[in-house]
């Protein structure tokens, strides 16, 4: 049971621009076999993902405003509506980075609120792309995103120069403390020891292409080593992750 709960920490991902059908099929079959929280695919592959995941219990996610986030709010809202209509059950979107840096709060909020509304109850995870931001900007982004109604704040796309760091996850978790918003780490997490460290820092979901290796590494841990993960794999922790409805 704990292995299944461990798998639920992960959004298995296949969003690279050159992915072909065979890559997506393999990723979807892996996600279904492991029982991950979701599989994230490019919008082009939503239909294929739906076919393979049907009956698996794994949610199908996709991306909006990816990977740069500079589309207008209307464009992102249209994209979100289109992918939900096509079967997406979760959305990872990139925030409007220039709007944050320019202090354009109304535009920034409208950008995310439009996607949240178009998602019609599906979780929206908002990517900050922290490598481009100052500490103050990261905190301000998290606070605004939580207020806008998204479910997670996410560290990065994994396509910029930097990925998740423990310092960023701690900062983000502190910024959304007191809300139902959670933190998703993506990019740069490569070992089971790092997974635990990121959980301890405040991450509650991981975007990963290495999910199978993480699950196998977890299986291979001693009972004592597995016990360190227990606070993050309890039914209450999983339920909180599954029922978020405000945050970013």
- What residues are labeled active site? 92, 154, 184
Q: What is the pLDDT of residues 229-238, one digit of tens each?
A: 999 996 655 4
Q: What is the pLDDT of residues 141-152, one digit of tens each?
A: 999 999 999 999
Confidence band of 242 (pLDDT split at 50, 70, 90):
very low
Q: What is the pLDDT of residue 234?
A: 66
Tokens standing for residue 23: 């890559």
Tell me the C-alpha distance between 184 and 221, whole Å. 24
Q: What is the pLDDT of residue 175?
A: 98
Q: What is the pLDDT of residue 43?
A: 98
Tokens standing for residue 5: 């709960």
Q: Where are the beta strands (DSSP E) in the chain?
A: 10-14, 38-41, 59-64, 90-94, 123-127, 152-154, 182-186, 203-208
Q: From residue 127, how far is each of 26, 74, 130, 152, 224 by CA, in Å?
A: 25, 18, 8, 8, 34
Across the range 167-183, mean pLDDT stands at 98
Q: What is the pLDDT of residues 112-157, one digit of tens each?
A: 999 999 999 999 999 999 999 999 999 999 999 999 999 999 999 9
153 torsion bin: left (phi>0), alpha (psi -120 to 50), beta (else): beta
| CATH T-level fold of 2-243 | TIM Barrel (3.20.20)
Q: What is the pLDDT of residues 59-107, one digit of tens each?
A: 999 999 999 999 999 999 999 999 999 999 999 999 999 999 999 999 9
Q: What is the pLDDT of residues 63-74, one digit of tens each?
A: 999 999 999 999
In 3D, which of 206, 130, 125, 197 has the Cα closest to residue 166?
Answer: 197
pLDDT at 44 over 50: yes
Tell me the C-alpha distance between 92 and 35, whole Å. 19
Q: Where are the beta strands (DSSP E) in 65-197?
A: 90-94, 123-127, 152-154, 182-186
In 3D, which of 124, 125, 99 has the Cα closest to residue 110?
Answer: 99
């Amino acid at each position: 049971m704990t292995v299944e709960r461990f798998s639920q920490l992960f959004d298995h991902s296949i969003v690279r621009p050159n992915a072909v059908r065979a890559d997506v099929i393999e990723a979807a079959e892996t996600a279904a076999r492991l029982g991950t929280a979701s599989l994230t695919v490019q919008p082009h592959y939503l239909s294929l993902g739906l076919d393979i995941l049907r009956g698996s219990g794994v949610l199908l996610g996709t991306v909006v405003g990816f990977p740069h986030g500079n589309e207008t709010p209307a464009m992102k809202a249209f994209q979100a509506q289109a992918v939900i209509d096509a079967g997406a059950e979760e959305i990872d979107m990139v925030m409007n980075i220039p709007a944050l840096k320019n202090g354009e709060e109304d535009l920034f909020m409208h950008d995310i609120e439009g996607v949240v509304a178009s998602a019609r109850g599906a979780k929206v995870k908002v990517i900050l792309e922290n490598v481009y931001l100052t500490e103050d900007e990261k905190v301000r982004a998290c606070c605004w995103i939580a207020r806008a109604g998204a479910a997670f704040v996410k560290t990065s796309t994994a396509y910029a120069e930097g990925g998740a760091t423990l310092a960023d996850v701690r900062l983000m978790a502190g910024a959304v403390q007191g809300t139902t918003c959670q933190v998703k780490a993506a990019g740069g997490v490569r070992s089971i020891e790092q997974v635990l460290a990121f959980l301890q820092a405040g991450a509650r979901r991981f975007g990963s292409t290495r999910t199978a290796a993480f699950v196998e590494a977890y299986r291979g841990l001693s009972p004592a080593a597995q016990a360190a993960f227990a606070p993050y794999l309890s039914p209450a922790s999983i339920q909180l992750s599954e029922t978020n409805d405000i945050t970013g």
